Amino acid sequence: MSLGVPESPRRAQPREGEDELLWEAVAEPSRRRVLDLLLARGDATPTMLAAELPFTRQAVAKHLAVLTRAGLVEGHRQGREVHYSVRPERLNAAAQAMADVAARWDVRLGRIKHLAEERARAGQEEPPGPR
């Protein structure tokens, strides 16, 4: 997921290829519904997901395959069925760009607070103008 021009120092630097895969994986609305439901459930089989979505089990399985390729979910076999769960570190990567921007503003606001409070204290100790 690219947030803009790479020369801009305040934005996350997109990692080409890997980000493209993430973006494609979450760009399709039906796939996002699968991902959202999986997030809510924590762990589910394609059959369980299909029961709660207006998609066939086969369609759900295809979406899960794309999400697995992008590294957003992982499957693990339990008995006869494959259970899927979200890989939180990869979801973090998908949301990282927005989070980075927010974190930068937090740092800037913190600096503004420090500068303004320093000024305010200096102003109280030494009132401006002649006595």
Partner 1 sequence: MTPNAIEREILIEAPAETVWSVVTEPGQISRWFSDVAEIDLVPGGEGTLTFADRATNQRATVRLLVESVEPPHRFSFRWDHPAGVKPDESNSLRVEFTLAAEGRSTRLRVTESGFDALNRPQDEKTAYFDAHSKGWDTHLGSLRDYVAGRS
Q: Which two tokens stand for residue 98?
A: 């927005």
Residues 6+ apart with CB under 8 A from 104: 10
Name which position in 38, 39, 45, 74 contacts partner 1 (CB under 8 A).
Answer: 39
Please report, in angstroms and rounded to a whole number, the separation of the first and last CA atoms in the chain: 60
Nearest CB to partner 1, comparing residues 81 and 122: 122
Residue 81 sits in the site that holds partner 1 (CB under 8 A): no
Quick one: which of 70, 76, 65, 122 has its CA closest to 93? 70
The residues binding partner 1 (CB under 8 A) are: 1-5, 7-10, 26-27, 29, 32, 35-36, 39, 88, 91-92, 94-95, 98-99, 101-102, 105-106, 108-113, 115-117, 119-120, 123
